């Protein structure tokens, strides 16, 4: 990621789109840039790649693109990244960018406000696909195969056909397969959780906060059990420490609007029968979800482009 950003900054006038497989990955790239922009500027200013980039093939390739020292470009990037607010940072660093290309449907929709903030609301374009032989209203799980069809991988997403463009089915993300959160007998899907988080995002934005990541689980260690949401927040305006000031009233309001946005079955068992306890929000440190991603990518040797945050946990 570091080398890709370095090359992208050096060739900033040639970049016409910023893309990643998932919207969440683009947000993580912006966070990575926030942590390493000073070192990137140093590389551009000196014309040398950081010594901790040890892959010789990678170093040689990046060095060819980096070229000689470029004081003017380093000063420009330093000025833009040193601003209090990073609103429109994508457009400021890559001024010819016409759109953001990433999957931003389903649970990835939670990252749309953050991408709009960082890009000054550049058009957000999802990648294309080809499909046929589906029925209106039907639910399908995508299956990835090789050309011969002998090797198959189940994605785990459940899609619903909402219409057709000519003969091509149009889908909406319905939920992840076998991901239902329940304390009593209420079925709460990822779609329900995303709807609740969308309501909370409106409240957070009123206090100039951005939701950058979340996960949740059903805590049955209490009586009655209740939903626990872990949220990672970031201030729209940077400060010297990077800390954010949280008001308990703000978090209480978020809890209230989230509960109101959940299903009628949840609200019935929550308010009328008391079988479900009050929803709880726990705010984690900035960078928590990035650290989790790095742990799984490094320990399992996976590709960062294929990583997805787990939005729902079940404790055994």
pLDDT means per 10 residues, the chain with 316 residues, are 90 91 87 91 89 87 87 92 91 93 80 91 76 77 73 81 85 75 83 88 90 88 89 81 78 94 90 86 88 75 66 56
- Residues 162 and 250 both lie in one domain: no
Determine the pLDDT at residue 252: 93
Q: What is the pLDDT of residue 122?
A: 92
Strand partners, 213: 232
Tokens in use for 33? Answer: 């840039």
Is 236 among the domain residues? yes
The CA distances from residue 307 to 4, 179, 275, 301, in Å, are 18, 17, 35, 11
- What is d(CA 87, CA 89) in angstroms, rounded to the nearest whole number? 6
Sheet holding 157-165, edge to edge: 139-140, 157-165, 168-176
| Residue 132 counted as domain residue | no
Residue at a domain's end among 125, 151, 168? 125
Whether 202 and 291 share a structural domain: yes
Q: What is the pLDDT of residue 184?
A: 82
Residue 195, domain extent:
180-313
pLDDT of residue 306: 64
Q: What's the CA gap between 153 and 261, in Å, rounded? A: 34
Residues 150, 71 share a domain = no
Assess whether 76 and 167 both reside in one domain.
no
Confidence at residue 229, expressed as pLDDT on a 0 to 100 scale = 93
pLDDT at 281: 93
CA 215 from chain center: how many Å? 12
- Give the per-residue pLDDT at 262: 92
Residue 177 phi/psi, 5-degree rounding, is -70, 135
pLDDT of residue 241: 60
Instruction: Please report whether residue 60 resides in a domain.
Output: yes
Residue 247 lies in a domain: yes
- Cβ contacts of 248 within 8 Å, gap of 6 or more: none
The pLDDT score that the predictor gives to residue 316 is: 42
Burial class of residue 264 in the structure, from the number of CB atoms within 10 Å of its CB (0-12 exposed, 13-18 middle, 19+ buried): exposed
Residues 296 and 190 in one domain: yes
Total number of domains constituting the chain: 3
Mapped onto helix, strand or coil, the DSSP state of residue 249 is: helix
Helix (H) or strand (E) run with residue 156 in it: none
The reported pLDDT for the residue numbered 95 is 92
Same domain, 170 and 185: no
pLDDT at 312: 62
Q: Report if residue 131 sits inside a domain.
A: no
145 in a domain, yes or no? yes
Same domain flag for 67 and 154: no
Same domain, 111 and 144: no
Residue 193 and residue 306 in one domain: yes
Q: Which residue has the tokens 């589906």?
A: 134
Q: Is 298 found in the same domain as 218?
A: yes
Residue 298: inside a domain, yes or no? yes
Q: What is the CA radius of gyration of the chain?
A: 22
- 134 inside domain: no
In our burial notation (b when 16+ CB lie closer than 10 A, e otherwise), range 51-83 reads: eeeeeeeebeebeeebeeebeebbebbbeebee
Residues 225, 305, single domain; the answer is yes
Q: Identify which of 187, 233, 230 has the alpha carbon closest to the alpha carbon of residue 210.
A: 233
Which pair of structure tokens corresponds to residue 207? Answer: 């206090």
Q: Are 46 and 79 in the same domain?
A: yes
pTM exceeding the 0.85 threshold for the entire prediction: no
């Amino acid at each position: 990621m570091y080398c890709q950003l370095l090359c992208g900054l050096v060739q900033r006038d040639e970049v016409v789109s910023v893309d990643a497989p998932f919207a969440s990955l683009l947000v993580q790239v912006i966070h990575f840039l926030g942590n390493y922009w000073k070192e990137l500027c140093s590389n551009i200013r000196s014309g040398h790649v950081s010594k901790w980039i040890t892959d010789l093939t990678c170093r040689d390739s990046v060095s060819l693109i980096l070229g000689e020292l470029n004081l003017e470009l380093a000063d420009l990037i330093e000025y833009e990244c040193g601003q209090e607010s990073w609103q429109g940072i994508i457009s400021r660093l890559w001024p010819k960018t016409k759109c953001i290309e990433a999957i931003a449907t389903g649970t990835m929709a939670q990252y749309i406000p953050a991408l709009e903030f960082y890009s000054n609301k550049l058009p957000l374009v999802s990648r294309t696909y080809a499909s046929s032989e589906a029925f209106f209203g039907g639910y399908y799980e995508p299956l990835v195969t090789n050309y011969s069809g002998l090797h198959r991988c189940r994605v785990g997403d459940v899609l619903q056909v909402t219409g057709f463009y000519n003969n091509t089915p149009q889908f909406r993300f319905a939920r992840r397969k076998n991901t239902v959160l329940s304390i009593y007998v209420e079925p709460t899907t990822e779609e329900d959780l995303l709807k609740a988080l969308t309501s909370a995002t409106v409240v957070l934005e009123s206090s100039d906060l951005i939701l950058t990541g979340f996960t949740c689980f059903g805590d049955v260690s209490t009586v009655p059990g209740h939903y626990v949401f872990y949220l990672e927040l970031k201030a729209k305006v940077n400060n010297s420490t990077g800390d954010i000031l949280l008001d308990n009233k703000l978090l209480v309001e978020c809890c209230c609007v989230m509960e109101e946005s959940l299903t009628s079955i949840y609200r019935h068992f929550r308010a009328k029968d008391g079988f479900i306890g009050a929803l709880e929000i726990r705010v984690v440190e900035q960078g928590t979800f990035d650290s989790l991603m790095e742990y799984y990518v490094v320990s399992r040797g996976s590709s960062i482009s294929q990583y997805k945050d787990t939005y729902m946990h079940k404790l055994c």
